[in-house]
Structure 1
């Protein structure tokens, strides 16, 4: 049986309505893959950040962000990625959505060199660190020195495709100041306290 076509029913409906079905068909055929090409794997291996898209079982969405040293999202093979989840604010919004709805969208963007992005969509499973290391002994260690992952997100890739460079700005990484910047509120107060208090 052939694999299902790329794109959602909603995409195809709008493509017909907007007259872009032929252009979209060319994009699906030329750009979308059901696995990570060697070039995509190399690109992921040098990225230090990724944007995440999840939704719960009712379709309510959450967008989030993860960062780490280049390669913190580990390419296991052409069909599989994994990245560590560390202790945060305890809400677990992204991981909680994955428990209800395992579909995960990842967007890697190179803002500093090639100004291009890569979408990777697939099915996620959550693993304790020790459990995934038993299954995948090649997982990196020391991703965040002094910190151990609370869990890993293991993604089975369903599709991967380019995000074009047209509107990706050029950004220059700024050095992080040593210690906390006292000229701004603490993170926990940033959006909840009046600025006059600082």
Structure 2
């Protein structure tokens, strides 16, 4: 009979475990440490955390790593199999949320740098939920998850697996008031030169219409010069072409 722990991990990691002779050690880790749900201790750990690192990817596999922070417990444990964290108004890019709309697989890493000095991995399937809809299903959600910040929507995560990140090499950080630093604005810190705005271009319908008029005019003058209309351009994002 297939053991539950044998379902954890990707095909790639199992292949490398066989090649490097670590399959037995990995199987023991899956058996002892990995669970398809949150234990009571995991739920308590998440409720104390004020930060989480996110890993997401779009439908083409282009990855993005991000960071979220808030008051302790800003990531809400809804039950043993479900988490939710709020998204606030930011720079308008919505990179992680955009990836989730294409590819719902999401990785979260909670790190405690001050007390326990260990981490918790939670991998799951995520969907975006309006604040009103999630609040209707879970009335216990806090009205103000961060002082003065309005929730735009929630990321609702169904837990697929959860497991420890061991304490080795995790640095000790001491909480302290954030100092006021005299430096350039965040947007200028890395000296990134703004890209000049792209000149406005007419839609492809306009050149096509103009070409039709030119062809009709040429035909009237007895000319038969072919008219070439350029094909529509495609948008690229980090090497992933989208129609």
Q: TM-score range by the shorter chain?
A: over 0.9
Q: Post-superposition, which runs of at least 4 consecutive aligned residues in structure 1 deviate over 2 A?
A: 1-4
Measure how far apart 1:189 and its partner are. Answer: 1.1
Structure label with greater radius of gyration: 2
Matched residue of 2:7: which SS?
coil
Gaps of 5+ in 2: 194-243
CA distance in 2, matches of 1:136, 1:156: 15
Pairs within 5 Å for 1:157-196: 157-177=159-179, 181=181, 183-192=182-191
SS in 1 for 2:25: helix
* Residue of structure 2 aligned with 1:124, choices 120, 126, 130: 126
Task: Measure, in 2, the Cα distance between the counterparts of 1:119 and 1:35.
Answer: 11
Q: Could you tell me how far 1:13 is from its partner in structure 2? A: 0.3
What is the distance in 2 between the residues matched to 1:140 and 1:102? 25
Q: Which residue is 2:157 aligned to?
A: 155
Select which of 134, 137, 161 maps to 1:135.
Answer: 137
Quick one: distance in 1 between partners of 2:192 and 2:35? 46
Q: What is the distance in 2 between the residues matched to 1:80 and 1:41?
A: 10
Q: Which moved more, 1:166-175 or 1:13-22?
A: 166-175
Following superposition, the deviation at residue 186 of structure 1 comes to 0.8
Pairing partner for 2:30 from 13, 28, 31: 28
Instruction: Number of aligned residue pairs: give it.
Output: 191
Q: Shift of residue 185 of structure 1?
A: 1.3
Query: Mean alpha-carbon deviation: is it higher for 124-133 or for 152-161?
Result: 124-133
**TM-score, normalised with respect to structure 2:** 0.76
**TM-score, normalised with respect to structure 1:** 0.92
Distance in structure 1 (CA, Å) of the matches to 2:78 and 2:178: 31
Q: 1:161-182: CA deviations, max 9, x gaps? A: 000000100011231236xx3x
Gaps of 5+ in 1: none
Q: 2-side partners of 1:103 and 1:13: how far apart?
A: 21
- Looking at structure 2, the residues matched to 126 and 135 of structure 1 have their Cα atoms a distance apart, in angstroms, of 14
**Aligned residue number for residue 99 of structure 1:** 101
**1:11-52 C-alpha deviation (Å, 9 max, x unpaired):** 000000010000000000000000000000000000000000
